[in-house]
Chain A
Amino acid sequence: MISISAFFAGLFYFATAVIVFGVLYRIYEYWSVPSPLNIATTPAPTTQAGAAFRVVREVTLFESLFKANKWIWLFGITFHLALLLVLLRHFRYFVDPTFILWAWVPYVQPFGKYAAFAMVLGLAALWARRFLVERVRYISSPSDHLMLLLLILIGVSGLVMKFVSHTDIMDVKHFFVGLRSFDIKELPNDLPLYIHLSLVATLMIIFPFSKLLHVPGVFLAQHEIWQIILGKNVMLPLGLRKSIIRLASDIF
């Protein structure tokens, strides 16, 4: 089965390149566009700490969404938090938990395992809104439906591997650890795994070309933090290297 393994190896090298360079390029693009006027929505914090705190609340608690609509907030935060736990759980496929930096990885496993159910349920509820609430139905494009379908299928195929037809995850781990040193190991011959990996790679590839750009957007659309942290009338753009490094260190 070396050819299928080689295919997935190639796919993941490609997908990783697309998501990393694609998103960095987008951030660079956004960052290079000037923001000539102070358009912060008020009441806005008046201090640097206050502005940073507001962005942290927006990013972690979805504060504005909570004000807007409790149902979207509930389903949205359920999905995003569950996704976070699931992603953290996936670290075990890439890292060595005996290394001190990754010592937390084993502890997150049980949470990540069951969070997958919450993730799928949250997504299903968000999708149901696209059919049941006429206002949301009106604004939904096919891509909005497909994005939810894609995420649900990723979640379900992952759950199948864990709870229905068990995949040999040690082989999976060897495969991904091998990719780091360009050593292509064999993937287990397992259909749910192939489906799961193909969908994840798809998600990574469409990331910089889709509404998934709300991930960098949620930081960059928060106008006030840049206004306040950088000083009121700083004119952008800054140089390419400087800005990417600065943003990368701020955000990631």
Chain B
Amino acid sequence: MTDLEKQVSEDQDVEDVEEQLELPDPLEIPAIVVDAMVDLHSFEAAPAHQTDLGFPGELVDDWQERAIAKIGDLRKKYRSFRVYLDSCVKCGACTDKCHYFLGSADPKNMPVARQDLLRSVYRRYYTIPGKIAPWLVGARDLTEEVLGEWYNYFHQCSQCRRCSVYCPYGIDTAEISMAAREIMDDVGKGQKYCNEIIAKLHKVGNNLGMPPKALEATLADFEEELEDDFGIEIKMPLDVEGADILLITPSADFFADPHIEGLMGYAKVFHNAGVSWTMSSYASEAANFGMFIGSYDNMRKVSRRIRKAAKDLKVKRIVFGECGHAWRVGYAFLNTLAGPWDFLDQNYPIPQHICEFTFDEIEKGAITFDKSRNDDKVMTFHDSCNVARATRMGSNPGGQFDYPRALLKASCNHFHDMPEDTIGEATVCCGGGAGILTDDLMDIRVKGAAPRMKALRQVTEEEGVTHMAAICAICKSQFTKILPKYDFDMEAIQSVHQIVSNAIVLEGATVPEDD
């Protein structure tokens, strides 16, 4: 056990203070309200955005046959899809595990019921009992009404995998949601938010649609800002051929707070480590919305940009910035989608997470922190769903929980975790993941965030927590919008590397005046 890990585990042993106030249980189970969210319909993709991704522009005439055929296709393509559809026994273990159900009370937001929207159709057309006696096994014809339900409820799933932790068979509703979205795209009924963004990425290289020139100017601004604040030159390099490290980070890091502060944090850590690094204007996006829509081809196309950038820039290592679903694609899928990575330095993880990079630097004793610079904050940490349940950091299972906490504890004096059943592998999603982070879905975003907000309320009341850090662009954007709706300050959400950035002591740097 390293010193840092020891410190983390010791801190976790500290006894919790007795509850003094009657606060709502973050995971309180509501009585069901049938069809509470049935009408929540996010904007559908315009024909141009559909065709950009290789899907039909609008709902095709033979959509029903085509969707049924697509189910048949997918059951031969993904074992998970097939086994999950057959294995569920309706035990009910998952029924109270989805944050969207807890927040909305709509029973179709219970994981098993969400799966059943598709399973019922699968049973009707692909199982003998469903063909003979549909009423007996809950099988349904694929009607327009069913398609409408698919669209609305499969866009109320953030693919966070919380249900999969509790299912005795490990059934992952995310896989079913992705399949359903793929089927809908395939018949011409895609979602605007996801598909527009993926189209932008294919064209420009990032989700924002920020062209290389604009990115260059933005980074130059950041460099200037850093120099003004700290009196030293901290680089934000772009397209530097021959750099050692290629940083792949979500484009939100170029655009919004608290993301930008996090990006500045990475830059400071790299500066302090004295490594040569660069970003790429061609692969200026870590997020991979291809996963959200279950499209292997789009996901692969997005990932291949990273490969091309790494080759063109002749880098030796790839580091991912703070982005949840991106780290899932990076950690678990990247080798399959865009490997082999034999041209990179094999002495480092491929890819590596920025938290792993910083953790190693701290371990080496290479970073000096002045924790007191964060004394105006009492921190907690929100485990982002896909980092927590689909990835790892370091070589031990659960490193994805320990590393970001170790970074926070190294850079601030006051840290308290939220209730145990809402963190770690049991973490509740921010409510905005996997294509939900759009204003037309605000209703479910607010409701889905309720468990997290109640958990945060507990530690603010009991431990005096003032800020919550996260390592996911979607979590940060979601909370910035949602926190005020639960009477928190919108700036209560922070980047982990923002906290690191505040405390890191750089050689020759002046300490900025407090605002």
Using a CB-CB cutoff of 8 Å, which residues 94-133 of chain B contact chain A?
94-97, 107, 110, 112-113, 116, 127-129
**Cβ-based interface call for B161 (8 A):** yes
Contact across chains for B94 and A33 when beta carbons are under 8 A apart: no
Contact across chains for A65 and B135 when beta carbons are under 8 A apart: no
**Cβ-based interface call for A72 (8 A):** yes
Q: How far is the CB of A184 from chain B (nearest CB, A)?
A: 30
**Cβ-based interface call for A74 (8 A):** no
Chain A residues with CB below 8 A from B31, complex form: 134
Contact across chains for B87 and A218 when beta carbons are under 8 A apart: yes
* Residue from A30, A62, A223 in contact with B168 in the complex, judged by beta carbons closer than 8 Å: A62
**Cβ-based interface call for A143 (8 A):** yes
Contact across chains for B87 and A135 when beta carbons are under 8 A apart: no
Contact across chains for A217 and B169 when beta carbons are under 8 A apart: yes
Q: Write the chain A residue with the least CB distance to B80.
A: A39
Most buried by A among B32, B91, B296, B388: B91
Contact across chains for A42 and B107 when beta carbons are under 8 A apart: no
Contact across chains for B83 and A143 when beta carbons are under 8 A apart: no
Q: What's the Cα separation between A129 and B86 when bound, in Å?
A: 22
Known: A64-B165, A217-B86, A221-B84. A38 touches B170 (CB 8 A): no
**Cβ-based interface call for A45 (8 A):** yes
**Cβ-based interface call for B395 (8 A):** yes
Contact across chains for A220 and B83 when beta carbons are under 8 A apart: yes
Q: How far is the CB of B471 from chain A (nearest CB, A)?
A: 15
Known: A39-B175, A43-B400, A220-B79. A69 touches B92 (CB 8 A): yes
Contact across chains for A136 and B92 when beta carbons are under 8 A apart: yes
Q: What's the Cα separation between A162 and B84 when bound, in Å?
A: 39
* Residue from B75, B116, B169 in contact with A214 in the complex, judged by beta carbons closer than 8 Å: B169
**Cβ-based interface call for B89 (8 A):** yes
**Cβ-based interface call for A245 (8 A):** no
Chain B residues with CB below 8 A from A220, complex form: 79, 83
| Size band of the interface chain A makes with B | 35 or more
Contact across chains for A42 and B388 when beta carbons are under 8 A apart: yes
Chain B residues with CB below 8 A from A143, complex form: 129, 136-138
**Cβ-based interface call for A247 (8 A):** no
Q: What's the Cα separation between A24 and B89 when bound, in Å?
A: 20
**Cβ-based interface call for A34 (8 A):** yes
Contact across chains for A37 and B332 when beta carbons are under 8 A apart: yes
Q: Write the chain A residue with the least CB distance to B139.
A: A141
Chain A residues with CB below 8 A from B245, complex form: none
Contact across chains for B80 and A72 when beta carbons are under 8 A apart: no
Using a CB-CB cutoff of 8 Å, which residues 217-270 of chain B contact chain A?
none
Most buried by A among B83, B110, B388: B83
Known: A34-B78, A141-B137, A213-B86. A41 touches B390 (CB 8 A): yes
**Cβ-based interface call for B20 (8 A):** no
Contact across chains for A72 and B92 when beta carbons are under 8 A apart: yes
Chain A residues with CB below 8 A from B488, complex form: none
Chain A residues with CB below 8 A from B77, complex form: 33-34, 36
Q: What's the Cα separation between A41 and B397 when bound, in Å?
A: 11
Chain A residues with CB below 8 A from B307, complex form: none
Contact across chains for A144 and B90 when beta carbons are under 8 A apart: yes
Contact across chains for B170 and A64 when beta carbons are under 8 A apart: yes
Contact across chains for B79 and A44 when beta carbons are under 8 A apart: no
**Cβ-based interface call for B2 (8 A):** no
Contact across chains for B92 and A38 when beta carbons are under 8 A apart: no
Contact across chains for A45 and B397 when beta carbons are under 8 A apart: yes
Q: Write the chain B residue with the least CB distance to A233.
A: B336
Chain A residues with CB below 8 A from B136, complex form: 141-143, 146
Q: How far is the CB of A63 from chain B (nearest CB, A)?
A: 8
**Cβ-based interface call for B12 (8 A):** no
Most buried by B among A29, A64, A140: A64
**Cβ-based interface call for B172 (8 A):** yes
Q: How far is the CB of A235 from chain B (nearest CB, A)?
A: 10
Contact across chains for B166 and A141 when beta carbons are under 8 A apart: no
| Size band of the interface chain B makes with A | 35 or more
Contact across chains for A135 and B92 when beta carbons are under 8 A apart: yes
Chain B residues with CB below 8 A from A40, complex form: 332
Q: Write the chain B residue with the least CB distance to A211.
A: B89
Using a CB-CB cutoff of 8 Å, which residues 135-166 of chain A contact chain B?
135-136, 138-144, 146
Contact across chains for A33 and B168 when beta carbons are under 8 A apart: no
Contact across chains for B32 and A138 when beta carbons are under 8 A apart: yes
**Cβ-based interface call for A195 (8 A):** no
Chain A residues with CB below 8 A from B161, complex form: 41
**Cβ-based interface call for A209 (8 A):** yes
Contact across chains for A41 and B87 when beta carbons are under 8 A apart: no
Q: How far is the CB of A123 from chain B (nearest CB, A)?
A: 13
Contact across chains for B76 and A33 when beta carbons are under 8 A apart: yes
Chain B residues with CB below 8 A from A211, complex form: 86-90
**Cβ-based interface call for B301 (8 A):** no
Q: What's the Cα separation between A35 and B81 when bound, in Å?
A: 10
* Residue from A69, A141, A206, A218 in contact with B90 in the complex, judged by beta carbons closer than 8 Å: A141
**Cβ-based interface call for A181 (8 A):** no
Contact across chains for B93 and A69 when beta carbons are under 8 A apart: yes
Contact across chains for A41 and B164 when beta carbons are under 8 A apart: yes
Contact across chains for A42 and B92 when beta carbons are under 8 A apart: no
Most buried by B among A58, A129, A210: A210
B156-181 CB contact bits vs A (8 Å, 1 = yes)? Answer: 00000100111111111001000000
Using a CB-CB cutoff of 8 Å, which residues 147-199 of chain B contact chain A?
161, 164-172, 175
Chain A residues proximal to chain B, CB less than 8 Å: 26, 29-31, 33-46, 58, 62, 64-65, 67-69, 72, 76, 129, 133-136, 138-144, 146, 206, 209-211, 213-214, 217-218, 220-223, 232-233, 236
What would be 10 A-B contacts, judged by CB atoms less than 8 Å apart? A36-B336, A38-B336, A41-B389, A65-B93, A69-B96, A72-B91, A139-B90, A144-B89, A209-B127, A222-B169
Kindly list the 6 A-B residue pairs having the minimum CB-CB distance in the complex, ordered from nearest.
Answer: A217-B87, A141-B138, A68-B166, A43-B397, A68-B93, A136-B92
Given contacts A72-B93, A133-B92, A142-B136, 14 further A-B contacts (CB under 8 A): A34-B77, A37-B332, A42-B391, A43-B397, A65-B91, A69-B166, A139-B110, A140-B90, A141-B136, A210-B137, A213-B86, A214-B88, A221-B171, A233-B336
Chain B residues proximal to chain A, CB less than 8 Å: 29, 31-32, 34, 75-80, 82-84, 86-97, 107, 110, 112-113, 116, 127-129, 135-138, 161, 164-172, 175, 296, 332-333, 335-336, 388-392, 395-398, 400-401, 425
